[in-house]
Amino acid sequence: MIKRAFALVLVFFLGSILVKLIWYWHPWAELMGVARYYVSHELSELGATNLVTAIVVTYRGLDTLGEVTVLFLAATGVSILFKQSHHHPVPLHPERPSSEILQTATQLLTPFIIMFGVYIFINGHLTPGGGFQGGAVIASAVLLLFLTFPQYRLNHKILKIIESISGATYVFIGLLGLFLAGGFLDNHIIALGTPGRILSAGAIPFIYLCIGLKVGTELSNILEHMRPRTFTIQTNDN
């Protein structure tokens, strides 16, 4: 009874706050402060036609570094956790293999999905998208392979090499911006070029390339470790 009364009081309290927020909320007639500066100066200062990219990668580059670090720690934690829990494989009864249609479709679609993910983070400074979105698309191709071919295994050595190189390059570009330009991940270490071109917006395309590869490999590594380590029970049909 006490728990129910406390829950009702809490719901009423949170509901009253929500009603006040909605009642006194008024939309801005124009952008103010930092938002106005971003919109009015971004194209001339950074050369990226995608405003979100400019904010995430350059203006708030340290926040992006924190996000990449959190993802790395999450992937490491998942790897350690599942590595300890897979000492004793669980027996797996024979299951019907995937259909030939699904296998063929997966083999045909996987390269295009990966190519689309690369396209997303290479063009992140021009169109909506970026390193995190492109990396997630690449990881979805890996997930499709796992679902279609249960025995498929990733090459962890290649994954580690790609992840290490992309992460180190990302930090190196950030430090170059700190010493050669105006701050960490400052894209002016490379000429801005013509807005709207692939080779434009300074170092932003290379930053997103590093982020996309790092996110894709880390998410793929998480998917790999979340798969149960099993062995198949052999049955005799005699």
**Residue 59 has what pLDDT?**
86
Q: Identify which has the larger pLDDT, 234 or 223.
A: 223
Asked if 223 and 217 count as a contact pair (C-beta separation under 8 A), the reply is no
pLDDT at 91 over 80: no
Residue 118 lies inside a defined structural domain of this protein: yes
Which residue pairs, CB below 8 angstroms and at least 24 apart, start in 153-157? 153/224, 154/220, 154/221, 154/224, 156/221, 156/224
Q: Identify which has the larger pLDDT, 158 or 91.
A: 158
Residue 28 lies inside a defined structural domain of this protein: no
Instruction: Calculate mean pLDDT across residues 97-113.
Output: 91
Q: Each residue of 153-185: pLDDT tens digit?
A: 888 888 889 988 998 998 899 889 888 887 888
CA distances from 139 to 22, 67, 77, 214 (A): 39, 17, 18, 11
pLDDT at 90 over 60: no
Domain total in the chain: 1
pLDDT at 235 over 80: no
Residue 115 lies inside a defined structural domain of this protein: yes
pLDDT band at 234 (very low <50, low <70, confident <90, very high): very low
Q: Compute the distance between CA of residue 104 and CA of residue 144 in angstroms, rounded to an integer.
A: 12
Residue 38 lies inside a defined structural domain of this protein: no
Q: Identify which has the larger pLDDT, 180 or 84.
A: 180
Q: Identify which has the larger pLDDT, 10 or 226.
A: 10
Q: What mean pLDDT, rounded, does the chain reach?
A: 84
**Residue 137 has what pLDDT?**
95
Which residue(s) pair with 90 in the sheet? 230
CA distances from 152 to 10, 87, 224 (A): 49, 20, 10
Residue 17 lies inside a defined structural domain of this protein: no
Residue 113 lies inside a defined structural domain of this protein: yes
Enclosing domain of residue 164? 49-84+95-232
Enumerate residues 6+ apart whose C-beta is below 8 A from 204. 46, 48, 53, 54, 57, 58, 124, 125, 187
CA distances from 153 to 165, 201, 225 (A): 22, 38, 10
Residue 158 lies inside a defined structural domain of this protein: yes
Judged by DSSP in three states, 149 sits in coil
DSSP for residue 125: T
Which residue pairs, CB below 8 angstroms and at least 24 apart, start in 39-48? 43/195, 46/187, 46/192, 46/201, 46/202, 46/204, 47/187, 47/192, 47/193, 47/195, 47/200, 47/201, 47/202, 48/125, 48/126, 48/187, 48/195, 48/200, 48/201, 48/204
pLDDT at 219 over 60: yes
User: Which parts of the chain fold into alpha helices (H)?
Assistant: 2-23, 33-46, 51-53, 61-85, 100-122, 131-148, 156-180, 204-226
Residue 237 lies inside a defined structural domain of this protein: no
pLDDT band at 88 (very low <50, low <70, confident <90, very high): low
Q: Each residue of 134-159: pLDDT tens digit?
A: 999 999 999 999 989 888 888 888 88
Q: Compute the distance between CA of residue 119 and CA of residue 123 in angstroms, rounded to an integer.
A: 6
Neighbours of 53 (CB within 10 A): 26
**Which amino acid is present at 44?**
S
